[in-house]
Amino acid sequence: MLRSAFSVPRLAILMSNIVQLVWLVPVLPLIGFLINGLFRKSLSKSLTGIIGSGVILISFIISLLIFFQVKQEGFQPALVRLFDFITVGKLSIPFEFQVDQLSSLFLLIITGVGFLIHVYSTSYMHEEERQHFARYFAYLNLFVFSMLLLVLGSNYVILFIGWEGVGLCSYLLIGFWFKNIEYGNAAKKAFIMNRIGDLGFLIAIFWMISKFGSVGFAEVFSKTSTTSVAVLTGITLLLFVGATGKSAQIPLYTWLPDAMAGPTPVSALIHAATMVTAGIYMIARSNIMYTLAPVTQTVVAVTGVATAIFAATIALKQNDIKKVLAYSTVSQLGYMFLGLGVGAYTGAVFHVMTHAFFKALLFLGAGSVIHAMGGEQDIRKMGGLKKYLPVTQITFLLGCIAIAGIPPFSGFFSKDEILAGAYEKNPVYYVLGVAGALLTAYYMFRLYATTFLGKFRGTHDQEHHLHESPSAITIPLIVLAILSVIGGFVGIPEVFAKNAHALEHFLSPIFAQSKEIQEQHATGSSPELTLMVISVIVALAGAIYGWTRFSKKPELEDATGFRKVLANKWYVDELYDTIIVKPINALGKFLNNVFEKSIIDWIVNGIGRAVQYSSRQVRLIQSGQVGGYVLLMVIGIVILFLVEIFIKQ
């Protein structure tokens, strides 16, 4: 029996229908979440790890099968309807999954990188108590589940459910060590900042419902060509507000660096596979609306390039290994938004993919370093780790090269595609983008050189404990390093080989409509090869300068002057504190002290006193004299009679 189930024809049928089984991909992590969450006190650590990672692995395998199905020529986007979610009047929102090129690619990134992070976590979190270990994996699975829901939904409401889900999970995981109040505050900050963005998203959904009468992707996009540009601009701007929150763009980026409070693999998950890519996905999904709203595109591009540069300058002077990486994520996300803003949608999605590889690698590498250093995160106290952590060192270096955009590593291809698109739109974007790339290469090699080169600067005790991490940590690092190196070859630019850009070919159905519109306004070709050479030279220069400057003499003293401004992140947190948090606190205090006491308390106490007073008076009527009662009764009856006779008529 069992054999026949796997016989060849049945397998073929299963394969051809694998798209219909797409609901398994998010459901499995949900099951993992439930098992780990409900039985966290009774499951052993190894079982927890196996369940937590296993469900993601199965999801990954299904995603892979779906991907091959989608990759075939002539694949039509498939809708898998699970049940009716909301039906109100003419509005019907089904709980429906959409499998197409974009979502299947994101499925692979999320489950693939997510699986590696799960495996890594089994070792990294091993010192936690059993129930916290299981709680951690439960949250991690829920995180992956929410993200999968986000990319699979066939309408904005399902997307929004996933969107909120990742927000919740980021809160839970950033505040995983909840006994530390600062970590709890970081978690709250992430949640609240996201909420600000979510409000924009929510309003955009309502606007869509009122304008298009639907929230399904297909229905909305089919109606965009007949909608006025002003409405589209409004909707897309509101959606973009949501994206700035989730994807950490100016002005809502400050939560991401603080999100470092969570365990390091969580940072890797937030930065690489889930959460921050949600905004990119959403805009890439809505690309046709953005293409039709040029004003929004400009806003997106300017925000993106500004964030890229701004975050890169902050990263220059950070001394916490995770903070540097966090700001580099903000900066790279800025590049992705630049790509979206200039209409290089494929480039942006491509960069999401390559960034997922090398940023997960860098974070997990940083985690390995922190693990070896016994929790130390300050790079000034590291140095010379090269000989103690050979695997971590080499993979970290590969990650740095990839993020710096040096060919033929993956970051080069994707970043270059975005920069080429930016040049076509406006050379200013390109110049700023290259400047950002210079900074990126510089600070990444500063980080690498300070951490791994030179002499060890920690305590003797730490030096004694330095050791390479176990294989559950190093294997994911190696896999991610390989992906970071070769991941770029799916998108070889046209100047090197005709039609070699496999990713663009793969994603072309998604962006076809936008491309058609863009080509009507095309300004001609750009000198792509020249641009490429310039950006590579700049990146190399930054990398070499960073390497040589910090390998011999790391920067140990506290920053002064302008550097101090950078080290303090341009005082943006302080600025927000002054202009938003403090006034709101003051208002709250005012309301608490004045409004609450003199008005609300007065009303509440007044009602109480009035009742007390009147009851004291009314109580006197109850004298116990039966005659009195009867008299009152008779008076009452007489009044009723009079009412009946004189008034009711």
Q: Which residues bind other proteins (CB under 8 A)?
A: 622-627, 629-631, 634
User: Which residues on neighbouring strands pair with residue 99, listed in sequence order?
Assistant: 78
Our CB check for other proteins shows the closer of 610 and 631 to be: 631
Q: Minimal distance in Å, beta carbon 622 to other proteins?
A: 6
d(CA 369, CA 390): 11
Q: Contact, 288 vs 300, CB < 8 A? A: no
Q: Minimal distance in Å, beta carbon 620 to other proteins?
A: 11
Our CB check for other proteins shows the closer of 225 and 623 to be: 623
Our CB check for other proteins shows the closer of 74 and 624 to be: 624
Cβ neighbors of 613 (< 8 A, separation 6 or more) are none
Q: Minimal distance in Å, beta carbon 626 to other proteins?
A: 5
d(CA 493, CA 414): 9
Our CB check for other proteins shows the closer of 8 and 645 to be: 645
3-state secondary structure 438-507: HHHHHHHHHHHHHHHCCCCCCCHHHHHHCCCCCHHHHHHHHHHHHHHHHHHHHHCCCCCCCCCCHHHHHH
Q: Considering Cα of 506, then 507, then 513, then 517, what sign does the dihedral take?
A: negative
Range list of β-strands (E), 100-212? none
Our CB check for other proteins shows the closer of 522 and 621 to be: 621
Our CB check for other proteins shows the closer of 604 and 638 to be: 638
Our CB check for other proteins shows the closer of 375 and 627 to be: 627
Q: Is 143 exposed, middle or buried (0-12, 13-18, 19+ CB in 10 A)?
A: buried
Q: Minimal distance in Å, beta carbon 645 to other proteins?
A: 14
Our CB check for other proteins shows the closer of 524 and 627 to be: 627
Our CB check for other proteins shows the closer of 603 and 626 to be: 626
* Burial readout 7-36 (b: 16 or more C-beta within 10 A, e: otherwise): eeeeeeeeeeebbeebebbbbbbbebbebb
d(CA 578, CA 561): 22
Q: Minimal distance in Å, beta carbon 648 to other proteins?
A: 21
Tokens found for residue 18: 């694998």
Instruction: Give the chain's end-to-end CA distance (angstroms, integer).
Output: 88
d(CA 191, CA 177): 16
d(CA 334, CA 336): 5
**Among 231, 172, 483, 506, which Cα is nearest to 357's?**
483
Q: Minimal distance in Å, beta carbon 644 to other proteins?
A: 16
Q: Contact, 55 vs 28, CB < 8 A? A: yes
Angle separating helix axes 101-124 and 471-486, nearest 10 degrees: 150
Q: Minimal distance in Å, beta carbon 593 to other proteins?
A: 47
Q: Minimal distance in Å, beta carbon 623 to other proteins?
A: 6
Our CB check for other proteins shows the closer of 599 and 631 to be: 631
Q: Minimal distance in Å, beta carbon 612 to other proteins?
A: 20
Distance of CA 630 to the CA centre of its chain: 76
Q: Contact, 509 vs 100, CB < 8 A? A: yes
Q: Which residue type sits at 428?
A: V
Our CB check for other proteins shows the closer of 7 and 622 to be: 622
Q: Contact, 504 vs 346, CB < 8 A? A: yes
Q: Minimal distance in Å, beta carbon 607 to other proteins?
A: 28
| Residues 414, 248, 188, 198, Cα dihedral to 10° | -110
Q: Which residue type sits at 430?
A: Y
Backbone angles phi, psi at 92, to 5 degrees: -130, 125
Q: Minimal distance in Å, beta carbon 629 to other proteins?
A: 8
Q: Minimal distance in Å, beta carbon 611 to other proteins?
A: 21
Our CB check for other proteins shows the closer of 218 and 637 to be: 637
